[in-house]
Structure 1
Amino acid sequence: MHGNSSAAERLKNLLHELKQVDGSEVLVIQDDLDITCGIVIQTRVQKLACEQWGENLTLDFTHGTNNLGYHLGSFVATGPIGRGIPVLDFLALNETADIMTEIFEFFKRTNPTTWENIQTFVIDKHFVEWKVLERCFPDMKVLLCQFHALTYWKRLLGRKFGLKPAQRDVAQRCFAKMMYSKTEASYLRGYEELSAFAKDGHSSVLSYFDKNWGRCCTMWANYARNAYFSAGNTTTNRIESNWNLLKRLLGKETSIDRMVASLLAQQEGVTNQPSTL
């Protein structure tokens, strides 16, 4: 780990103390140069929450939580009153397939029976997360956050195809119709509208959709997506709400040890809420 040596030493002591707590799990991932690439934390209470409500988990990363540039990620379950409950927290220097695989396999080892009860994950359209999840959890379904899907499509229409505002609105409306379709027939009507739009000089839009969205429509279109249990999570809003709370506690340029200490304090605050456990 790079950066302030005293902060690194305090973090080392903090993680050592956590490992002494009954039921807590800590993994430190290091590369061949002994650089810390990742840290994974799961407390006993997080294990219990995952056991009770882990059929659907939301996965997301956030940035800007510490002065060393580590990305902070979590698995978040949905509690009985609809509140997001972190059941695994991890830091990663980079969101690479190797680091993600180590994190997910560690989670499986520390939750040897619970992980097999997971039915779905909700993520944003992050290709690495998607593929590593499918490889590590082959019997689970990966679903896309619909808010991120709509936002990404809208942003793409604005910069990639040279469309005028009115044309972008048409393509955006077609995508939304497909997303919120309750039946396959309704989805196909939205697709037919996009196809008709493409024939008017915009074939690249349809080609891009077919390659990048049509093949995975069961992950984001309601007619297929609703066949899978999602605990009501059509977006990653619950996990992002947790990020916002944590960032308000941290401020800017927080040392790595203080960030982890604040993360553990937030975990305790969430799990101590009435009706959480």
Structure 2
Amino acid sequence: MAHDAFAKGQFVQHDVHRNQRRSTLLTAIEEFRKNNAAYSQLQCIIVDKDFTELSVLKEAFPNVSILLCQFHVIKYLREQVAMADYRFTPWHKMQIRSLILLMVYAKTEREYMKHIKYLRHVVNIGCKPTITTEISQNSRDHEANPPGDNAMSVGPAPDLSNTELVSVDQLPTSDQESAKHSFESYFDKNWDKCRNLWCSYRRQSAVTLAIIPITDLNRHGNN
């Protein structure tokens, strides 16, 4: 689907293919370019997080902004938070989901960093032993005004009276990575490093015109 300068959307190509291999995607893109002479005027393409798709699009459209659909980013992260492996309590899940929204729609780097610091703090609450960064002024601001509003929290925070808090910064460098909560490591590896593709403050100059992602065509095609 394409959106013009007036934010009008039109289907420009339906592509049904057997797999997501690089060669298959390149063939589909070549057909698109062959039948749409105006492709050179493309400003932005929004997709979900498929690394093969991303690399192919960057190769085929080197001068076009390739971004991740924020709806799908939120969806993927919420699903990840719900996984039993992390052993998050309902309180953890509610706080983290609220923080995800705040990070995705952060308007400045300072705002994003404030939220991610508090995320690191929250995921470590209740761990045994708890490994967490020192609570900065930004974290104290969050505690005074939790993400969303007070109605978003589910129950009290876990009891830390018998838990020793240790700062990651106080650990030897070799131990800092292993000391991270597994969700923190997952987020750093898979999302923080590519925040320019999904965080609002890094994509403000992109002409998105409220574009829906390419993968939403699948939903339209199944209706």
| 1:24-63 to 2 correspondences below 5 Å | none
- 1:85 aligns to what? 10
Structure 1 position 195 matched with structure 2 position 173 = no
Q: SS at the partner of 2:16?
A: strand
Is residue 47–residue 67 contact of structure 2 (8 Å, CA) maintained in 1? Answer: yes
Q: What per-residue deviation string (whole Å, max 9, x for no partner) do you get for residues 25-52 of structure 1? A: xxxxxxxxxxxxxxxxxxxxxxxxxxxx
Deviating runs (4+, > 6 A) in structure 1? none
Q: Distance in 2 between matches of 1:219 and 1:189?
A: 19
Q: SS at the partner of 1:231?
A: coil
Return the letter of the residue paired with 1:151: K
> Closer, same or farther in 2 for the Cα pair 1:111/1:78, shift >3 Å?
closer
Q: What per-residue deviation string (whole Å, max 9, x for no partner) do you get for residues 152-189 of structure 1? A: 11111111422112111122222211111111111111
- Superposed CA RMSD: 2.4
Structure 1 position 209 matched with structure 2 position 133 = no
Is residue 121–residue 141 contact of structure 1 (8 Å, CA) maintained in 2? Answer: yes
Gaps of 5+ in 1: 1-75, 249-277
Q: Aligned match of 1:226 in 204, 209, 216?
A: 204
Q: Aligned match of 2:101 in 146, 170, 176?
A: 176
TM-score by length of 1: 0.55
| 1:112-191 to 2 correspondences below 5 Å | 114-159=38-83, 160-191=85-116
Q: SS at the partner of 1:143?
A: strand
TM-score by length of 2: 0.67
Task: State, as a whole percentage, how many aligned pairs show the same letter.
Answer: 26
Is residue 198–residue 204 contact of structure 1 (8 Å, CA) maintained in 2? Answer: no
Q: Distance in 2 between matches of 1:148 and 1:123?
A: 9
Higher relative contact order (CA 8 A, sep 6+): 2
Gaps of 5+ in 2: 128-179
Residue 80 of structure 1 deviates from its aligned partner by: 6.3
Return the letter of the residue paired with 1:106: E
